[in-house]
Amino acid sequence: MKKYRVEPDSKVDLSKWDPEDSSEFDGNKEEGRAALANLNRKLAELQEVLYAEHKHKVLIVLQAMDTGGKDGAIRHVFNGINPEGVRVASFKIPSAIETDHDYLWRVHQQTPGKGEIVIFNRSHYEDVLVVRVHKLVPEEVWKRRYDQINNFEKLLAEEGTTILKFYLHISSEEQKERLRARLEDRTKHWKFDPNDLKERHLWKEYMRAYEDALEKTSTKSAPWYIIPANKKWYRDLVMASVIVETLEDLKMEYPQPKYDVASILRDFDALADNI
């Protein structure tokens, strides 16, 4: 899945990244789902070792345009995973207390501890995306945030956090159909916001903002992956593959017991029955 990784200092033109791409899997949708189920099982095993070893920290950042599939990706990629040791942090409009601090203050509080996987559903990147597009701060303010974000993520990485960042790439046409589907299904009305239609008029501005963010903040220790997301099954398959491969590379092991297993097993019945 390295073809979807944004190499440091490379140029990004999102018009050249096909959101319909499914070239790294030869099978069809049903076969893709079966492959994802196998990855789910591997991820569950790796997450258990991660939690038990209590050494590594894993941060997964998800960004996308509206209807890009962040919630669905979390639900399907982490299907069957023990919720103990996995947490989702969502970043909405900052509260009054949060705006009294620097923009990374609320983010740092949600970063993972040892043995934990934390998934950011939106993230600190909103401060170089929506903040930029809607001109909520002067240009000189959001421009210096790229370096600040890189330094922040470098700190996390140097302190033992493995960082994976996924941009779920959908087309404007796909977004239109997903918004329509929300209106046509009454069980999805709660997910529809009329402002999403207004945001579509800023699509080009958002694409430029994403291109800058991907170019300027994809680093060796905190890489971005551009995930083709028009096909939901393929989106999930690519994400799960990257996460599993990354966790396998950590070479994690269950901790050694601090007691004599053999002696306890030898006398287990006597010890267990002595109540």
What SS3 class is residue 20? coil
Task: Give the number of domains in the chain.
Answer: 1
CATH number of the domain bearing residue 257: 3.40.50.300
Residue 126 belongs to domain spanning: 2-273
C-alpha–C-alpha distance, residues 79 and 26, integer Å: 23
pLDDT digits (tens, 9 = 90+) for 86-140: 999 999 889 999 999 999 999 999 999 999 999 999 999 999 999 999 999 999 9
Give the length of the chain. 275
Residues 6+ apart with CB under 8 A from 15: 207
C-alpha–C-alpha distance, residues 266 and 275, integer Å: 18
Q: Which two tokens stand for residue 206?
A: 């958002």
Q: Which two tokens stand for residue 248?
A: 């396998």
pLDDT digits (tens, 9 = 90+) for 160-187: 999 999 999 999 999 999 999 999 999 9
pLDDT higher than 80, residue 275: no
- 274 band by pLDDT with thresholds 50, 70 and 90: low
